[in-house]
Chains A and B, each alone.
Chain A
Amino acid sequence: MLIQIAHFLAILSTGLFLTTFVFSFLFTKRDKNITRLISRIYSHAFLMLTSSFFIYIWLALNDNFSVLYIAQHSNSQLPSFYKITSIWSAHEGSMYLWIVFLCLWGFLYSSYSPNDNILKARTIGVISLIAVGFLSFLLLTSNPFETILPIAPMDGADINPVLQDPALAIHPPMLYLGYVGFVIAFANAISFLINGDKSIRWEESVRIWSISAWVFLTVGIALGSWWAYYELGWGGYWFWDPVENVALMPWLAATAFIHSLSVSSKSQLLRIWTILLSIIVFSLSLFGAFIVRSGIIDSVHSFANDPERGLYLLSFTGILVFSSLILFSYRLPLLASKKLITSFSKESFISINNIIFGTLIFSTMLGILYPLIYEYLYLQKISVGAPYYNAIFVPATILACIFLFFSIDSKWQRTYRIINSYTSMLFSGIFSLAITISVMLYFVISDLWILVSLFTGLLIIIRYLFVIFEFLINKKYSNPYSIAAHIGLGLLIISISLNSQFSSERAINIKINGDDIYKDYRIKFDNLELIKMSNHDSVMASFIIDSPSGKTFVLNPEKRKYFTRGQITTETAIHATPLKDIYVTLGDQLDDGSWIVNIQFNYFIRWIWISALLMAISGSFLAFSLRGTSR
C-alpha cells in the first residue's frame, strides 16, 4: 500500500510541476500575487515529491523487498545507514535522488529569494519544466516503484560491497547537489532571456546559489577521488576515467561561470559569457547524466540499462540545450555591451580565464568522444588516457596561473599599471625560482614540466602571501575568499607535481615469513589469516614494515569474497603521514605459495584533497558572506 502511495505522490507531483510551469508562462502581467501563487503551487509539488521520497526511505529501512529496486540493492543484514544509502547505489534510485535535489534547490530559491517579480515566477516555471522532464523519465523508463508480485523474496540481493563505505555514501549526494544546483543560474538566465529586458539585474541574486552549488560539486569530486584511492584500490587521485571527466567538465565550466558572474553582477560586462556559461554548465551536467546512464561508455559507474533511457535523456537534453541556444542567439544583440572592456582590468583577465577554461572543456569533451567516434567508424575500441589530458591540462593550467599572477592587483573597469606592484611580483618570482632550483638540485629533478608547474604553484602562493602581508601592514583591502581559494589552487598544483615526481610503486613476490626491501623500507610478511565475517570471507595479510628512521608499523591489506554476489574486493592498507602514504594491496597467490603484493609510495597525495577542501571551504565562506544578496 505504501508503495502505491509513494508512487502516486510522485505522479501527482509531476502533474503539479507541470501546472506550475503552465501558470508561470500563462500570466505575463507583473503581479505579486501571481508570483506568490506560483511559488505556492511549486512548494506543494515539492512537498509531495519529498513525502514520496521519505516513504521510499521508510520502505528501504523496513526491508520491503516487494519493491524490486530495494530487493535488488538492499539486504536485511545491512546496517540501517547502508539501507538508506543503497537507494542511490544504482540507476533508478539515484535518478530519484537527483530529481529530489533538483526540486529542493528550486524550493529553497522560491522560499528564500524575496523577489516578487515576473523573473522569479518564470525561473520557478523553468525549474518545474526540467523537473517534469526528469520525473517523466524516471516514471516511464526507470520506475523505482516497480514491485515483485505476488510473493516478495525473503531477502534482498545486497548492495555492491565496494559501495558499503561512508565516503561513497555521501559522494553521490554531494555530486548531485552540485550538478543540479546550477539549475537556478540556468533558469534565471533563461527567464531573463525570455523577458528580454536588459535592465533587469539577475546576476547578483544567483551568485550565492551558484557558489554553493560549486562548493558541493568540488567536495563531491574530491570525495569520489578519495574513494577510488582507498576503496577501489586504484592507488592514485585521478584516472581520466570517462565518468570522472563528465564531472570535471561541469566543474571547469562552473569555475569559469562563477568568475564571469562576479564581473556581470558588478558591472554589466561579460554578460554574453555569463549567460552562455550558465547554459553550458547545466547542459554539461545533463550530458554527464546521459553519458553515465545510457551505457555508451564502459566505466566503474555505468549502470546496466535499456536503450530507451539513453534516447530519452539525449532527446530531452537536446531539446533543452537547443531551445536555450536559440533563445540566446535571438537575444544576442541585446546582450552585447557597447562598453568595451579595458585592457589590464580585472574583467579582461577574467575573460582570458574564460577562454582557457573553454579550451579545457572542449579538449576533455573530445577525449571522451574520440573513442566513441573511433568505435563508430572502425568498429574497434581504443582509449584516450593520461598522456593526452596531461599534454593539454598542464600547459593550459600554467598559462591560466600566469594570467592569475598578473591579475592579482588589477582593478575593476580600470587599467592598472604592473609597475605599481612590481616589488611583490619581483620578489615572488625570485623566491619561487630559488625554491624551485634548490628542490631541483637537491632531488635531481630533470622533468621540465614538473619544474615549471612547481614554480607556477609557488609563484601563486607566495604572491598571495604578499597580498596578505600588505593587508596586515597597510590595511589594503583584498578579498579573503579569493585569496584562500587561489592559495588552494597553488597548493593543488604543487602537490600534483610533487606527487608525480616522487611517487613510485613496485610489485613484489613474497612468501609468508619472507621479507624484502623497497626504498630502504624492510617489509616482512608476518602472517596470513582467514577470517569469516557475517557477509564475507576474508584473507588478511599482516606486514611488518621497518622504516629507515627506525619506526615500525603493521599494515593489513585484505582480499574479501562477498557471499551474496560472489564478488571479490581488495581492501587496501595505508600508512599515512603528512608527507606520504605507504599503500599496500594484496594481489593473487602464485603456485609456489608466494603472494603478489603491490607497494606504493604516494607522496603529497593527502595535500591534493586538502587543496580541494580549501577551495571548497573558501567557497562556502564566500557563499555565507553573500547572505541577503539574493534579492
Chain B
Amino acid sequence: MITLLRFIIFVIPISLISFLYFFINDNDYYPGADFKVSDMPAFELNSLYENSVVNNLDLEGSYLINVWASWCITCRIEHGFLVQLNSQNIPIIGLNYKDERNDAIEWLGKYKDPYRLIIHDYSGSLALDLGVTGAPETFLIKNGKIIAHFSGEVNKRVWGDVFAPVIKKEKVVWNDQI
C-alpha cells in the first residue's frame, strides 16, 4: 500500500514537470514569437515625413517592419538596438502606430531615426491586418511573406534567439534599395 502511494505521488509530478520542461525548451516555443508564414497584407498609407503614398508593391525583397509609437515606453528601450541593426545595413521599415504625426517626428528628432522608411498608420488599419496587439512588434518579411513575428522588445538576445536562426535557415538577403 505504502509502495503504491509512493509510486503514485512521484509518477504524476515527475511526468508533469518533465513534460513542461520539454515544452518550454522546445525550439519552436519562445514567448512572443510566431513563425507561421503568411502573406504580407496589401496596404496604401502615407509616409510619415513627406506626404507620399506607400503601398505594399513598393516594398520588395527582405526587410523588417517595426511597429512603434511615441507613446510607447518599451519602444524607447528598444530604440538603441534598432539603431545598431540599421548601422549593420539591415533595412527596417517603421510602422508608426496610432500616433500623432508631430509627436512621432519630435520623438525621432530627439533620439535617432533607425528607419529607412516610415509608414504613418494613424487608424491602425495595417496594424490590424498584421495582427498587431500593441507596440513594439517586429516582423521579418521575405518576398512578400511574413516569416517571423515577435511581440515585445527586440534586443540582442531576442535577435539571436528568434531572428538570427530564421535569417540563416531561410537564407535571407536584405534589400538594400529601400
Residue numbers of A with Cβ under 8 A of B are 68, 71-72, 148, 153, 156-157, 272, 276, 283, 290, 294-296, 304-307, 310-311, 314, 317-318, 321-322, 325, 328-329, 332-333, 336, 362, 365, 369, 372-373, 376, 379, 564-566
Say whether B6 contacts A310, CB under 8 Å.
Answer: no
Chain B 128-163: CB-based contact to A (< 8 A → 1; otherwise 0): 000000100000000000000001100001000100
B109 to chain A, nearest CB (A): 14
Contacts A71-B73, A304-B151 given; does A325 touch B24 at CB 8 Å: no
Say whether B5 contacts A332, CB under 8 Å.
Answer: yes
Cross-chain pairs A/B with CB under 8 angstroms, 14 sampled: A153-B76, A157-B71, A305-B31, A306-B31, A306-B157, A307-B31, A310-B24, A322-B13, A325-B9, A333-B2, A372-B19, A376-B19, A564-B71, A565-B134
Q: Within 8 Å CB of A314, what residues of B?
A: 17, 20-21, 24
Of B10, B13, B32, which is in contact with the most chain A CB atoms at under 10 Å from its CB?
Answer: B13
Q: Does B43 contact A (CB under 8 A)?
A: no
Task: Report the Cα distance A72→B74, complex, angstroms.
Answer: 7
What is the interface residue range for chain B against chain A?
A: 35 or more
B38 to chain A, nearest CB (A): 16
Residue of B nearest to A330 (CB): B6
Contacts A322-B13, A372-B23 given; does A157 touch B73 at CB 8 Å: yes
Q: Of the candidates A318, A333, A376, which one forms a contact with B26 in the assembled complex, judged by CB atoms under 8 Å apart?
A: A376
Q: Does B49 contact A (CB under 8 A)?
A: no
A467 to chain B, nearest CB (A): 35
Say whether A68 contacts B6, CB under 8 Å.
Answer: no
The 4 closest A-B pairs by CB, nearest first: A295-B31, A566-B98, A329-B6, A318-B17
Q: Within 8 Å CB of A564, what residues of B?
A: 71
Task: Report the Cα distance A153→B30, complex, angstroms.
Answer: 30
Task: Report the Cα distance A302→B162, complex, angstroms.
Answer: 20
Q: Within 8 Å CB of A283, what residues of B?
A: 13
Say whether A276 contacts B20, CB under 8 Å.
Answer: no
Q: Of the candidates B16, B76, B151, B152, which one forms a contact with A369 in the assembled complex, judged by CB atoms under 8 Å apart?
A: B16
Residue numbers of B with Cβ under 8 A of A are 2, 5-6, 9-10, 12-14, 16-17, 19-26, 28-32, 71-74, 76-77, 97-98, 124, 134, 151-152, 157, 161
Task: Report the Cα distance A317→B13, complex, angstroms.
Answer: 11
Task: Report the Cα distance A68→B10, complex, angstroms.
Answer: 42
Say whether B22 contacts A311, CB under 8 Å.
Answer: no
B33 to chain A, nearest CB (A): 10
A294 to chain B, nearest CB (A): 6
A553 to chain B, nearest CB (A): 36
Q: Within 8 Å CB of A566, what residues of B?
A: 97-98, 124
A606 to chain B, nearest CB (A): 33
Q: Within 8 Å CB of A305, what residues of B?
A: 31-32
Q: Within 8 Å CB of B13, what residues of A?
A: 283, 318, 321-322, 325
Say whether A336 contacts B73, CB under 8 Å.
Answer: no
Chain A residues touching B, majority SS: helix
Q: Within 8 Å CB of B10, what residues of A?
A: 325, 329
Q: Of the candidates B29, B71, B152, which one forms a contact with A296 in the assembled complex, judged by CB atoms under 8 Å apart?
A: B29
Residue of A nearest to B6 (CB): A329
Taking A329-B9, A365-B16, A372-B20 as known contacts, 7 extra A-B pairs with beta carbons closer than 8 A to each other, sorted by chain A number, are: A153-B76, A290-B20, A296-B20, A306-B31, A310-B31, A325-B9, A376-B22
Task: Report the Cα distance A318→B98, complex, angstroms.
Answer: 43
Say whether A373 contacts B31, CB under 8 Å.
Answer: no
Task: Report the Cα distance A307→B76, complex, angstroms.
Answer: 22
Contacts A310-B24, A566-B124 given; does A153 touch B2 at CB 8 Å: no
Q: Of the candidates A68, A71, A156, A311, which one forms a contact with B24 in the assembled complex, judged by CB atoms under 8 Å apart?
A: A311
Task: Report the Cα distance A332→B77, complex, angstroms.
Answer: 53
Contacts A304-B32, A307-B31, A328-B9 given; does A296 touch B77 at CB 8 Å: no
Q: Within 8 Å CB of B24, what residues of A?
A: 294, 296, 307, 310-311, 314
Task: Report the Cα distance A294→B97, complex, angstroms.
Answer: 28
Task: Report the Cα distance A296→B29, complex, angstroms.
Answer: 8
B7 to chain A, nearest CB (A): 10
Residue of A nearest to B99 (CB): A566
Residue of B nearest to A287 (CB): B16
Task: Report the Cα distance A344→B145, complex, angstroms.
Answer: 69
Task: Report the Cα distance A294→B71, complex, angstroms.
Answer: 27
Say whether A68 contacts B31, CB under 8 Å.
Answer: no
Q: Within 8 Å CB of B30, what residues of A?
A: 307
Residue of A nearest to B28 (CB): A379
Residue of B nearest to A564 (CB): B71
B88 to chain A, nearest CB (A): 23
Q: Within 8 Å CB of B6, what residues of A?
A: 329, 332
Task: Report the Cα distance A156→B31, complex, angstroms.
Answer: 25
Task: Report the Cα distance A425→B24, complex, angstroms.
Answer: 53
Task: Report the Cα distance A223→B124, complex, angstroms.
Answer: 34
Residue of B nearest to A372 (CB): B23
Say whether A376 contacts B23, CB under 8 Å.
Answer: yes
Q: Within 8 Å CB of A295, what residues of B?
A: 31-32
